[in-house]
Amino acid sequence: MANAEIECIGRGTKELMLKIESGDRRVDEMIRRVNAVNEKIACMREYQNFLNEVNAFTINGSRRKVLLEELQRENRQILAYHEENRNLREAIDESMETLAKVMARHRMVMARMNRLSKQPSFKEVTGIFPDECDNSTKDKERFREMLSTAAISTPGVKHVFAQAMSELKPKMTNGIVSDVGSDSDTDDGLNETAIEVGGRAYVTDLQPICTFMYILIKN
């Protein structure tokens, strides 16, 4: 009798343990299902948040106006950069043109300075004038004296001299021979003739004129 009860209790205990193990397995399965549902819920919540953020930038979204303002501000800034770039490019072009003009002017000035450096200075030129003026004045005085002396001894010397000077006129480059008549015997006429034929051309042809006057005096 006792053995039968013990066996019954043992079988009951074994069955209970099996039921407990089965219950544990069911609980574990339910926990796994709950965890899976929680993961799905978390994914759905994250997806919903993402959709809300995206919908905020759509036509009816709350941040659409802010986004448009930011885009317009960036667009205005880009246009300002383009305008500044264009102004800088124009300034650079103007600077290059000005630099080209300055360099051209500089080259002209340097070329002019080189030409001027090769020319005689004002001091050198002014130093030549007194000697030339003194020589020309002395030649004129000697010519007046010779012509006056020849007019005393030979009354027609002025007419002959005028003809001789008209023949020498093509050789003279800067002199003017005055028409002196044969009847003008005054010293003023002699001086006028001597002055008008004087100068650089007279000095150049002084030798043949002096030779002509010497022949007249000897005769």
At 37 the pLDDT is: 92
3-class secondary-structure state, position 60: coil
d(CA 191, CA 140): 9
At 15 the pLDDT is: 84
Between 214 and 12, the higher pLDDT residue = 12
d(CA 123, CA 131): 14
55 burial type by CB count under 10 A (0-12 exposed, 13-18 middle, 19+ buried): middle
The end-to-end CA distance of the chain, in Å, is 207
The model's confidence at residue 129, banded by pLDDT at 50, 70 and 90, is low
Identity of the residue numbered 9: I
d(CA 73, CA 67): 10
Between 128 and 50, the higher pLDDT residue = 50
* Cα torsion through 212, 213, 218, 219, rounded to 10: 70
Angle at 141 between CA 169 and CA 166, to 5 degrees: 15
Identity of the residue numbered 32: R
In the chain, where are the structural domains located? Answer: 133-218
The model's confidence at residue 117, banded by pLDDT at 50, 70 and 90, is confident
197 burial type by CB count under 10 A (0-12 exposed, 13-18 middle, 19+ buried): buried
Statement: residue 187 has pLDDT above 60: no
Calculate the CA 140 to chain-centre distance. 59
DSSP 120: P
pLDDT tens column, 107-116: 998 888 888 7
d(CA 204, CA 200): 6
Statement: residue 75 has pLDDT above 90: yes
CA distances from 209 to 56, 142, 160, 198, 202 (A): 119, 12, 12, 12, 9
* pTM higher than the cut 0.85: no
Residue 64's contacts (CB-CB under 8 Å, 6 or more residues apart) are 56, 57, 58
